[in-house]
Each structure stands twice: as structure tokens, then as C-alpha cells.
Structure 1
């Protein structure tokens, strides 16, 4: 094994220990070479070039009792199965690593008072690995990583504030992992190819994360803890999975998927969360869970056999909104708001055949459920419990549709609630039940062979029913005091 440790180089190392200002250029060519450099003081500059295979370059600048200040390391390797290692201790340092070839490894670490430091890494080839780590008191740090090839791996660890990380991978079977603990971080990840995995773990405040994947069988995971996070995920391809978990306040989540067999799961906690998801393709699934007040969920799906599930559970439950839009066949939209107080809204719109919409509100005051379906063989169900001054509106257009609405079943304390149902088409069915005081129920069917079943329990309630068509059936029931019924039928 060749080693670059001549008497001149030893003198060079000796001079660095006395904190001189040094600029050094070292070149190696051949195979199985090993280069070890140790520097202390400030400012130091190193330019390392290795050409060949199975080479090792190991550089250390600074120690904990004598920091490296304004140090610069430029490390370049060309060939296969090379290893590049850099360890810096100090402030205002710069690391640049570039590798060209296959099966190479580049690792850079900046530790202890790593203020205003920068790490830039680039690899071109196959089966390569990049790792960058910034540890204690690492503020205002910038890491940029780049890979081009197959089966690549990038790992970044940050500990500090105001950090910026950018990662890029091209080709297949790549892995990007970032672990951050600190404040005001900005993370960007991008992948292009198949079998990619992108993962980001954040524990801090005011974080911004961007993930982008193109290809097949991608997996993107973001987990954020603390406050004011903005997270975006975008996937293009087949068989993608995106998971996003937020714990904190004032969080925002954006997710877009295009392809087939995609899956999105979003979990948000605390106050002022917002989530927007969109899927284009078939066999997609979305699940969103929020635990706060004034939470907003917006879900859009285009295609067949999609599932959309949104759940909001708030401690105070004020002003929560769930919006679900589906276009296609055999889709399911499920929305649920639990233990919410007032001014909550669920809106569901489905266009196509064999769709199912379910909306549930518990402990709802001044709350609204709106369901709209257009197509055949569709079913819409709405339930409001412990409701006051709340409303359910259902509209269906098509054939063989079913609309079911319940307000406070077996709860006589509910009052001033409204159910409005409209069906246009043939062979449709309406069912409505209200329990309480001063409630209003309105139902309209236009078409032939339609069936209606309405029931009210309580006092001072009203029913207004209209049917237009032939071969119609209806069942109307009221139980209480001071109730009214208006029924109109035109055959």
C-alpha cells in the first residue's frame, strides 16, 4: 500500500499544528492508496485529488481544544470502491466531496460549534453511499448532496438551527434519509426512478420540507414534531405510499399523487392544522386524521375504486371543515367529526356509479353536512348526534340511488335542525328520521317508482314532502305534540 507520508508532508502537518495559514494541493494516482491528514488552527485549505481504485482519503481538521476556523476541504476521487472521510471541528468551515465511479463511499462530519459551515457532496455512478452529519451547536449550516446512478444511499443528520439540506437522486433503488433536531430548517428531497425511499424526521420549529418522487413503488415518509411546519409531498408513478404525521400548531400539509394503487395517510394534532390531498388514478386510498379546532381537510380523487377517509376530533371543535370530491366508480368517501362544538362542515361530492358517501357529526351545533351524488347505484348516509341548529342536505341525480339521513336518533333534546333531501331519477329511495323539538324535514322526489320513508319524534316538528312521478310509495310518521305534515303527490 502506498502512503503519502514523506518527511515534507510530516513537516506540513507540523506547521499546521501551530495554527498557520496554509494552502495545500495533494494528488494521488494508482490503486490501494491511503491518505491521512490532520490539521489544527486557522485558516487552512486542502485540495485532495485521488485517481484510481480502492483508495482511502481521511481528513481531520480541528480538535475540541483547538478548533478549525475558516477551513476549506475539497476532496475528489475518481475510480471504483474508493472511500472519502472528513471530520471538522470548528466554525465557518467548508467541505466539498466529489466521487465518480462505482461502489464509493463519502462521509462528512462537522461537530462542536459548527456555525456557518457548509457541506457539499456529489457522486456519479452505481452502488454509492453519501453521509453527512452536523452535530452540536450546528447553526446556519448548508448541506447539498447529489447522486447519479443505481442503488444509491444518502443519509444526513442535523443538530442545530437555521439548517438547509438539499438532496437529489437519479435512477433506481435509491434511499434518502434526513434526521433533523433544531429550528428553522429547510429540507428538500428529490428522487427519480423506481424503488425509491424518501424519509424525513423533524423535531423543531418552523420547518419546511419538500419531497418529490417520480417512478414506481416509491415510499415517502415525513414525521414532524413541534410548531409551524409546512410539508409537501408529490409522487408520480405506480404503487406509491406517502405517510405524513404532524404534532404541533399551525401545520400545513400538501400531498399530490398521480398513478395507480397509491396510498396517503396524514395525521395532524393540536391547533390550526390544514391538509390538502389529491390523487389521480385507480385503487387509491387517502386517510386524514386531525385533532384540533379550525382544522381543514380537502381531498380530491379521480378514478375508480378509491377510498377517502377523513376524521376530525377536536378538544374544542370550532370551525372544522372536511371537503371530499371523487370522480369515478366504486369510490368511498367517509367523513367524521367527533366531539366538536359548533360551526363544523362536511361536504361530499361524488360523480359516477356505485359510489358511497358517509358523513357523521357528533356533538354538532350550527354544523352542516352537504352530500351531492350524480350517477347510478349510489348511496349517501348522514348522521348528526346531539345536534342543534344543524342541517343535512342531500342531493342525488340518477337511478337506483339511496339517501339516508338521521338527526339525533333517540335524543329528544335536539332542536331547530333541518333535513333536506332531493332525488331526481327512477327507482330511488329516501329515508329520514328526526328526534327532538322544532325540527324541519323536507323531501323531494322526481321520477317513477320512487320510495320515501320519513319519521319524526318530538314536538313542534314539521314534514314537507313532494313526489312527482308514477308508481310511488311513501310512509310518513310523526309522534308528538304540535307537529305538522304537508304532503304533495303528482302521479
Structure 2
């Protein structure tokens, strides 16, 4: 073993040592000094210390044809504008570089060519000062471990690392970069096989961190971690080409920061982004299958974006807590079982999701707060997928659109002044909308579908429901409202074998239905029911072999029906006082109207209009109570009217035009009034009255 100590003041030092187990130490003090030192052999060590400005230390340990092992180099420079450059070959070697001062440069090149042998190399580089640069380049072949650690304290500094590993999946590479200060930059790149790790930490303002990993054939279990604390910082990750089971984690704390991560991995990889502060930006782009994305932001005026081009079983999860935040997600080209989840807590937030070409996939959005907006779009070959939206608070808006089959949309809102819209195309779709609160509005639309379903429920006052179906078959609309001053509208156009149902509980409500647009449907159904006071219900149907049922319970209610077509039926029933029922059937045969009223001061009106085929129609009317009135008009042949009144001060007015018609009247009570008119031939009137006399 040999130990050499050299101490110089202001000169050029050049030497070369070829031996084993040597320890060399060089101390220099001065300006523009140069140390050039070469060391060959095994188990050597070198310590170089330079004090002063514009000094240079050039160290070479080993050659490609003369590698070294178990060798260490420790270089320290104190001053400004200094340069240290180290080249080292083979494994189990250590390098330490320390510089204190400004505008210094530290660089190292490490090469390990050992095959089928496990080795370990480490590099530690530290700089304290401003406008400094650190560079590390390493290349390894074989089952080696290479660790590079870089540290800088100060402003306007730069870190650079390039690591290359090949030929072995057992190799391990590690990069650690730590910067404290402002306007610093850290760059790390890993290329090759095996287990690769990059860790970057920055504390300060206006810093930048860039990390890249990729393989020429295969890279497994690779990770990148970036941590930044401060404002106006930027972090970027790229993992691409043949990576597998990769992991990216980014964390930022501060304001006006941005981060981005891109993975082009085979499968089973994930990206996690976490930001705390205001006006931050997070972006993710990911390719592959069985992938995961997680984004979290705490603060205001933040933006998070995720784009997945995946095959199957991949997920995106986004969470924001604060006001005026924005989430945006795109998931495309999937083969199935992909999911997207968004959650926002706060006010004036926006969440947008788009899914393309996915099968059996799902979207789930949740917003808590006021003046929020949620949007879901699923289209281009999507099947058996579902979109779920939940909002709690006031003045929120939910929008969902599906261009898909066998899929569903669910929208749930709690609060006041909320709006929800849902659009669905193609068959076997289902839309479910629920609102709890006042002054809310919900709309649903289905097109070109068979066995489509729309279900809408509202609980509260001054709400509006609207549901529409176009070019659908075997489909249904169901609407239910609990509260007062509500409005419900349903419409079906160009449909057969479909149904609509409306139910309202409360006062001053309005429900209306339009089924058909002039082209007659087949076997359509309408059912409407109301409970309360001052309600209004109406239905219009263009159909054959169809029926309408209306029921109202309460006072000052009105029910109205217009029905056009053949073989149709109308059934109306009211319980209460001061109610009105109207029904009209036109352009058809074999139709029937059945009306019932229970209470006082009620009015019944029925009309079957004439046309050349107006035959075999039936009107049946029943009233029980006092001060009621009944009016009937029927035109055509082989028609019949049956009217029954029970009570006092009732009025009956019936007119028939045509031949072979019949009227059957039954009145019970006092002070009854009636007017009966028949125009035509072979008509019959059967009149039965008790406890009263007619007025005419």
C-alpha cells in the first residue's frame, strides 16, 4: 500500500500512478490552477482539494482496457468559475464531487463493461452557490447497480444526468437530484433494462425538473418521483418505449405550478399527481392496458387534464378541493372495463369527461358545492357502458351524452336552481334523473332506439321535467314530481309499442304529454295521475290500439285529452270538487271514452268528432255529487253514449249526429236539468230519472 500527499500553491500538477491500494491526496491554493491526475489499478483512492477561482481538476481512474475496481475519488473545489472532470471505468467505485462558489462546473463519466457479474458504483455531486452546472453520464452492461446523487443549494443552477444500462434485467440504476433555491433546473434520463429509479426534489421558486425513462427493448419496474415546493415551478415526466409496470409520482406545493407526465407503457403502470395551492396545472398522457391515473388538487383556480389511449381495465381518478377548478379527461380506443372518476368539492368548478370506443366502461362524476358544471360524453362504438353524475348544492349543471347501445345515464342533483340534461342514441338505453330541491330543471332525450327507458323524479317546488323520445320502439318515459308549482312535459315521436307515465303530488302543478306527431303509432300507452289542488293535466295521442288513463284527486283540477286514431280508449277519473275533465277523439273507429267524477261542482266534457269512418264509438260518463254538469257530443254511426248522474242540481247536455246511435241516461236527485239532441235515423234514447223533474 502506498500513500502520497501533494501540497502546492499556484502551479500545474500532472501525474499518473499505476498500482494497487494507493491513496493519493492533492491540495492546491490559488487561481487558474490545474490538476491532471490518472490512476490505474485496484482499490485506489484520490482526494483533491482546490481553493481559489478558475481552477481545473481533471481526474481519470482506469481505462477501457485498464479498468479499476473498489476505487474512490473525492474532489473538493472552493471558489468561483472552477471545473472538475472525472472519468471512471468498471464497478464498485465511488466518486464525490463538492464545489462551493458560483459558476462552477462538475462533470463525471462512468463506464462499466462487466458482464454476468454484480457490481456497485456510486456518484455524489454537491454544489453550493449560483449559476453552477453538474453533469453525470454513466453506461453499464451487466448486473450492476449505479447510484447517482446530485445536490445543489443556490439559484440559477443546473443538474444533468444520463444513465444507460443494457443486457441485464437484474441491473439497477438510481438517480437522486436535490435542489434548494430559485430558477434551478434538473434533468435526468435513464435508458435501458432493469430496475430504474429517478427521484427529483426542488424547494424554491421558478424551478424546472425533467425526467425521462425509456428502453430499446424492455424496462420493468421503473419509477420516477418528483417533488417541488414553491411557486412558478414546472415538473415533467416521460416514460416510453417498452416500459412495463412503471410508476410516476409528482407532488407540488405552491402557486402557479405546472406538471406533466406521459407514459407509453405496455401495461400495469400508473401515474399519480398531487398539487396543493392555487392556479396550478396538471397534465397526464398514458398509453397501454391495465393502466392507472390519479390526480389530486387542493386549492383554487386549478386545472387537471388526463388523456388515456388504452385497451382494457384502465382507470382515471381525479379529485379537486376548492373553487374555480377545472377537470378534463379523455379516454379512447379502449376494449373494455375502463373507468373514469371525478370528484370536486367547492364552487364554480367544472368537470368534463369524454370516452370513445369503449366497451363495458363507466364514468362517475361527483360535485359538492354551487355553480358547478359536469359533462359526460360517451360515443363512437361504446356499448354496455354507464355514466353517473351526482351534484349537491345550488345553481349546478349536469350534461351527459351517449352514442351507445345497452348503456345508461344516471344524474342525481340536490339543491336549488340546478339543471341536468341527458342525450342518448341507439338501443336498450336507460336514463335516470333525480332532483331534490326547488326551481330545478331536468331534460332527457333518446333517439333511434328500441327498449329505451327514461325515468325522471323531482322532489320540491317550481321544478320542470322534460323527456323526449324520437324513432324509438318498445320504449318508455316515467316522470314523477312531489311538490307544488311544478311542470312536467313528455313527448314521443315516431314510436310503436311504447308508454309514458306521469305522476304529480302537490298543488298548482302541470303535466302534459304528446305521443305521436301526426303519423299514427301502434299500441301506445299514456298514464297520468295528480294529487292536490289547482292542478292541470293534458295528453295528446296519435295512435291506434292505444289507451290513455288520467286520474286526479283534489279540488280545482283540470284534465284534458285529445286522441286521434282507431281502436283507442280514454279513461279519466276525478275525485274532489270544482274539477274539469275534457276528452276528444277524432279520425277513428271503435274508440271509447270513460269518464268518472266524484264530488261537487264538477264538469265532464266528451267529444267524438265525425269523419267518414266514425263508427262503433262509445262514451261512458259518471258523476256523483251536487251541482255537476255533463256535456257530450258524438258524431257518426253505430255509436253509443251512457251517462249517469247522482246528486242534486246537476246538468246534462248530450247531442248525437248520425244514424243507428243510442243514448242511455240515468239521473238521480233533485232539481235536475238536461238537454238531449239526436239528428239522424234509427237512433234510440233510454232515459231513467228518479226524485226530480227535467227542466226541458
Deviation at 1:68, TM superposition (A): 4.9
Q: More displaced, 205-214 or 113-122?
A: 113-122
Cα offsets for 1:343-370 (capped at 9, x unmatched): x111101111221111112233332211
Deviation at 1:56, TM superposition (A): 1.1
Aligned to 1:164: 292
How has the CA–CA distance of structure 1 residues 265 and 244 changed in structure 2, closer, same or farther, with 3 Å as cutoff? same
How has the CA–CA distance of structure 1 residues 173 and 202 changed in structure 2, closer, same or farther, with 3 Å as cutoff? same
Gaps of 5+ in 2: 1-79, 88-105, 113-137, 167-171, 627-696
Indicate conservation of the 8 Å contact 2:175/2:188, yes or no.
no
SS in 1 for 2:244: coil
SS in 2 for 1:177: strand
Q: More displaced, 95-104 or 272-281?
A: 95-104
SS in 2 for 1:380: strand
Aligned to 1:362: 493
Cα offsets for 1:211-260 (capped at 9, x unmatched): 00001100000011012220000000110000110011111011000111
Aligned to 1:294: 428
Matched, 1:153 2:281: yes
Matched, 1:389 2:519: no
Deviation at 1:120, TM superposition (A): 1.1
Aligned to 1:139: 267
Q: 2:152 aligns with which of 2, 25, 28?
A: 28
Aligned to 2:398: 264
Matched, 1:467 2:597: yes
C-alpha distance in 1 between matches for 2:231 and 2:534: 62
Matched, 1:339 2:471: yes
Cα offsets for 1:374-422 (capped at 9, x unmatched): 11221111122233222111111122211111110xxxxx322111111
Indicate conservation of the 8 Å contact 1:13/1:38, yes or no.
no
Aligned to 1:240: 372
Deviation at 1:14, TM superposition (A): 4.6
Deviation at 1:2, TM superposition (A): 8.0
C-alpha distance in 1 between matches for 2:445 and 2:108: 69
Deviation at 1:142, TM superposition (A): 1.1
C-alpha distance in 2 between matches for 1:461 and 1:283: 43
Q: TM-score, normalised by structure 2?
A: 0.66
Indicate conservation of the 8 Å contact 1:196/1:217, yes or no.
yes
Aligned to 1:424: 553
Map 1:27-426; keep pairs closer than 5 Å.
27-42=151-166, 43-62=172-191, 67-90=192-215, 91-92=219-220, 93-135=222-264, 138-184=266-312, 185-205=314-334, 206=336, 207-227=338-358, 228-247=360-379, 248-314=382-448, 317-342=449-474, 344-385=475-516, 386-408=520-542, 414-426=543-555
Indicate conservation of the 8 Å contact 2:368/2:391, yes or no.
yes
SS in 1 for 2:243: coil
Cα offsets for 1:260-302 (capped at 9, x unmatched): 1100110001211101110011111111000021111110011
How has the CA–CA distance of structure 1 residues 5 and 356 changed in structure 2, closer, same or farther, with 3 Å as cutoff? farther
- Give 1 or 2 for the bigger CA radius of gyration: 2
C-alpha distance in 1 between matches for 2:297 and 2:82: 34
How has the CA–CA distance of structure 1 residues 3 and 273 changed in structure 2, closer, same or farther, with 3 Å as cutoff? farther
C-alpha distance in 2 between matches for 1:51 and 1:391: 73
Indicate conservation of the 8 Å contact 2:159/2:177, yes or no.
no
As a proportion of its length, which structure holds more strand?
A: 2
Deviation at 1:134, TM superposition (A): 1.8
Indicate conservation of the 8 Å contact 1:156/1:179, yes or no.
yes
Q: More displaced, 284-293 or 357-366?
A: 357-366
Indicate conservation of the 8 Å contact 1:349/1:373, yes or no.
yes
Cα offsets for 1:107-139 (capped at 9, x unmatched): 11112222222111112222221111123x553
How has the CA–CA distance of structure 1 residues 60 and 485 changed in structure 2, closer, same or farther, with 3 Å as cutoff? same
Higher relative CO (CA 8 A, sep ≥ 6), structure 1 or 2? 1
Deviation at 1:13, TM superposition (A): 4.2
Q: More displaced, 290-299 or 71-80?
A: 71-80
Deviation at 1:4, TM superposition (A): 8.7
C-alpha distance in 2 between matches for 1:307 and 1:225: 28
Q: TM-score, normalised by structure 1?
A: 0.93
C-alpha distance in 2 between matches for 1:5 and 1:486: 107
Q: 1:19 aligns with which of 141, 145, 148?
A: 141
Indicate conservation of the 8 Å contact 2:227/2:252, yes or no.
yes
- C-alpha root-mean-square deviation of aligned residues, in Å? 1.9
SS in 1 for 2:141: coil
C-alpha distance in 2 between matches for 1:424 and 1:18: 86
